């Protein structure tokens, strides 16, 4: 995660410029986040991203939606869950 994403998360409507990881704060309405706030937010955003790895892996593993709908039409919903959905979920389980 980078500093721009952290700034956007902490102060979504703020005005600033980032050059070579140096922040030039342009907003007169909001205070600039401290380095500690930014560091904490970068870590939080990274943890959030990491926690969803299973979902990103599943997304690329599933066949195109058109193929899945065709499979459901010809084989039924339960067979689709058994043959397509469950194997991907088993391969990439959701963390607890």
In a domain, 96, yes or no: no
CB 95 within 8 A of CB 48: no
Instruction: Return d(Cα 40, Cα 28) in angstroms, integer.
Output: 23
Same domain, 66 and 44: no
> What are the tens digits of pLDDT across the range 37-95?
999 999 999 999 999 999 999 999 999 999 999 999 999 999 999 999 999 999 999 99
Query: Both 42 and 74 in a single domain?
Result: no
DSSP 53-79: HHHHHHHHHSPPHHHHHHHHHHH-HHH
* pLDDT tops 70 at residue 1: no
Residue 15 has pLDDT above 90, yes or no: yes
Average pLDDT, the chain: 96
Question: pTM of the full predicted structure?
Answer: 0.73
Q: Is the dihedral of CA 48, 40, 21, 33 positive or negative?
A: positive
Number of domains in the chain: 2
């Amino acid at each position: 995660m980078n500093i721009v994403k952290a700034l956007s998360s902490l102060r979504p409507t703020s005005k600033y410029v980032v050059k070579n990881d140096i922040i030039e704060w342009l907003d007169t309405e909001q205070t600039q986040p401290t380095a500690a706030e930014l560091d904490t937010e970068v870590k939080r955003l990274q943890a959030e991203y990491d926690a969803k790895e299973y979902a990103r892996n599943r997304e690329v593993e599933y066949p195109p939606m058109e193929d899945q709908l065709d499979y459901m039409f010809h084989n039924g919903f339960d067979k689709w869950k058994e043959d397509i959905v469950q194997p991907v979920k088993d391969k990439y389980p959701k963390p607890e």
